[in-house]
Every structure is written in C-alpha cells, then in structure tokens.
C-alpha cells in the first residue's frame, strides 16, 4: 500500500512517500500548495500520483522525528473555506439489532458537518473542547478524502484515520437537537494518505493516558466490514447534494465509530492523552485533550439597547 504525506519545513511545503520512522532519514520533495490535489484530479492512478511528487530533484533530507517538520492533514488547502469535515453517525453494525440482508434497501444514516479543514489537528497537537463539556467520547474513524474538480465532480484520493472527539454527554441530553453542539470539539487526523480503496477492516487499541500512565484501554474495529450500510451507497447518497460538490472543495468524510471509553464507564478529563494505535495499518494517532477556558465576554456584549419584544 502506497502512502503520501505533506508537511511544512522551514517555511516551505513538501511531500513525502511512505511512513517516516523516528531517527531514520526521510526525503522531502518541494510541492506547491495545490500540486497534489491537481495530481489527483489529473487521474492516472497511484503511479502517476507518486510520479507527480517524486519527479523533482531539489529534495531535502530530514530525520523522521525532526521537530521542525510540521505534518499536515492530507491534501489540506491553504484557504480554510476550501475544505469541509463531515461525518456519518450510527453506522456500526453493533448498533443494530440484526445484520443487514443482502438485498436490504439502503437507508441513509444520520450525518453532520463537523467544521472546515482549519479545525483539523494532526498527530501530537492538542484537541480543544468546550470547558462546559458534559462527557467526552473519542471516536476512531476511517476518513475518506475527496477532491472536487472544476465541474464539481468528486474524485476519491485515498483514506486516512481520525479522532472525531465529541461531547456524548450533551448529545444524549437531546439526541435530536444538540448533536451539532456536541460535535464542536477539535478533530485530529493522521497526515498519511493511503492510496487505495477504503479499507475493509481496521483494528487497533485505544489507550487513554493520565499523568503519563495508562488510565483506560480498549480494542476497536472500524472499516467497511464493521459498518451496517454499504460505503459506496453512503458516499453516492451524500454527494447527490450539490452543496458538497462545489468546485475545488476537499471533502473529509468520516465513516463513523463504534462504542468506546464512555460506554465502558470511563470519563475523559482535561489533560488526558488519547492514543489510537492502529495496529493493522502501522500508524498511531495521539493527541492531548485541552479544555478551553470559559469566555469572559459574549457575542451580545455590544447590544447596549437590547430589549425584549413587546408581546
């Protein structure tokens, strides 16, 4: 399986191939801000995409753990409004009483907008959540990456992995109305773009550390085999909406998650480190939870003449 990544190093954007290994040399290839997205739209398959990155000779070699390298979410545009994070809810088979019949009619799962690409954090960076959070839930998910061409046609680029951190406690207080509020937590994503079809099976372990020591562990499974609906049906249905086919838009589509630490009775706290050890794919996603301080002003602070409407 071929893997691409992008990063920033000394003020320049670079791309690389494969998974960097700490302490070992990594070759970085200078790229323009939209070079990889153009290569995806040009087609030609994996080999053509790799060639578009590695054909240059002005390379830089760094260590795989060089602190000066800032890895980026896959294909992230420079302009925040040119990318969108969305996700499906209630997709895993464990949340349904019976397995799907082979000829079962497709019923679209619930879906939500998480935010723009500027809300994405990647490996090692903190995830900020509201200080008012009721009960947090980590969610290891497959993330599909699409780029829309000038006509608005989505082109699949590959897949990555994400932590759709959210306030499940708030969601459960009002599942039909407060879920969008509950999702107003940062999302983390691995910078590795796997150049292949969406994975059938992803397995690994969630480790939540507190004060440097493991406080909770649990296994997880995601991928197409774990999902009740058929992934192509989910994708086709979503992209039937013109709003997601705006030319040039990069779509990060999260496929949903199974139950995790909250369902086992564990409470995530400020400062906890959430680690996804994606053993089946040889990668790790690790981020610290950070509670945002309460705001000391409100959006209505300037409404000096505010009054209630006359009934």
Q: Is it the case that residue 109 has pLDDT exceeding 80? A: yes
* The two three-digit tokens of residue 197, written as one number: 């079809």
What are the DSSP E strand ranges found in the chain?
A: 3-9, 12-17, 25-30, 60-63, 69-72, 83-89, 110-116, 120-121, 127-129, 136-137, 140-148, 154-163, 166-167, 187-189, 193-194, 202-210, 213-222, 250-254, 273-278, 283-291
* The two three-digit tokens of residue 258, written as one number: 């199974």
Rounding to the nearest 10 degrees, give the CA dihedral for residues 149, 154, 157, 160.
130
The answer to whether 164 and 92 are in contact (CB under 8 A) is no
Report the DSSP pairing between strands 136-137 and 140-148. Answer: unpaired
Cα-flanking dihedrals φ and ψ of residue 281, to 5°?
A: -120, 5
Q: What is the mean pLDDT of the chain?
A: 92
* The two three-digit tokens of residue 137, written as one number: 């839930």
For 92, 176, 188, the CA distances from 121, given in Å and listed in that order, are: 25, 28, 5
How much of the chain exceeds pLDDT 70, in percent? 94
Q: Is it the case that residue 311 has pLDDT exceeding 50? A: no
List pLDDT tens digits, range 74-100.
999 987 679 999 999 999 998 888 877
The predicted pLDDT at position 299 comes to 62
Q: Is it the case that residue 181 has pLDDT exceeding 70? A: yes
Spatial separation of the C-alpha atoms in residues 309 and 311, rounded to whole Å: 6
In order of their start, the domains of the chain are 3-71 (no CATH), 79-291 (3.90.850.10)
The predicted model scores a pTM of: 0.93
The answer to whether 91 and 255 are in contact (CB under 8 A) is yes
The answer to whether 182 and 168 are in contact (CB under 8 A) is yes
For 50, 138, 239, 253, 275, the CA distances from 3, given in Å and listed in that order, are: 9, 25, 25, 18, 21
The predicted pLDDT at position 55 comes to 85
Owner of token pair 């053993």: 279
The answer to whether 57 and 29 are in contact (CB under 8 A) is no
């Amino acid at each position: 399986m071929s893997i691409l990544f992008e990063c920033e190093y000394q003020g320049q954007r670079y791309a690389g191939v494969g998974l960097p290994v700490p302490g070992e040399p990594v070759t970085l290839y200078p790229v323009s801000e939209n070079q990889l997205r153009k290569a995806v739209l040009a087609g030609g398959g994996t080999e053509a995409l790799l060639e578009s990155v590695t054909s240059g000779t002005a390379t830089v070699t760094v260590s795989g753990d060089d602190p000066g390298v800032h890895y980026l979410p896959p294909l992230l545009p420079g302009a925040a409004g040119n990318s969108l994070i969305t996700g499906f809810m209630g997709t895993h088979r464990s949340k349904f009483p019976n397995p799907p019949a082979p000829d079962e009619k497709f019923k679209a799962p619930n879906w939500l907008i998480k935010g723009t690409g500027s809300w994405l954090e990647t490996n090692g960076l903190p995830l900020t959540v509201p200080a008012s959070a009721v009960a947090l839930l980590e969610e290891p998910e497959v993330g599909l990456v699409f780029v829309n061409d000038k006509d608005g046609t989505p082109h699949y680029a590959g897949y990555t992995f994400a932590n759709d951190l959210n306030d499940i406690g708030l969601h459960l207080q009002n599942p039909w109305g407060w879920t969008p509020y509950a999702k107003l937590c940062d999302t983390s994503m691995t910078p590795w773009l796997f150049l292949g079809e969406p994975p059938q099976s992803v397995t690994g372990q969630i480790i939540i550390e507190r004060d440097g020591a493991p406080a909770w562990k649990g296994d997880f499974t995601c991928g197409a085999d774990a999902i009740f609906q058929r992934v192509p049906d989910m994708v086709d249905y979503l992209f039937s909406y013109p709003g997601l086919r705006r030319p040039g838009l990069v779509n990060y589509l999260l496929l949903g998650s199974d139950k995790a630490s909250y369902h086992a009775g564990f409470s995530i706290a400020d400062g906890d480190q959430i680690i996804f050890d994606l053993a089946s794919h040889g990668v790790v996603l690790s981020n610290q939870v950070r509670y945002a301080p309460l705001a000391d002003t409100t959006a209505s602070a300037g409404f000096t003449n505010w009054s209630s409407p006359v009934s």
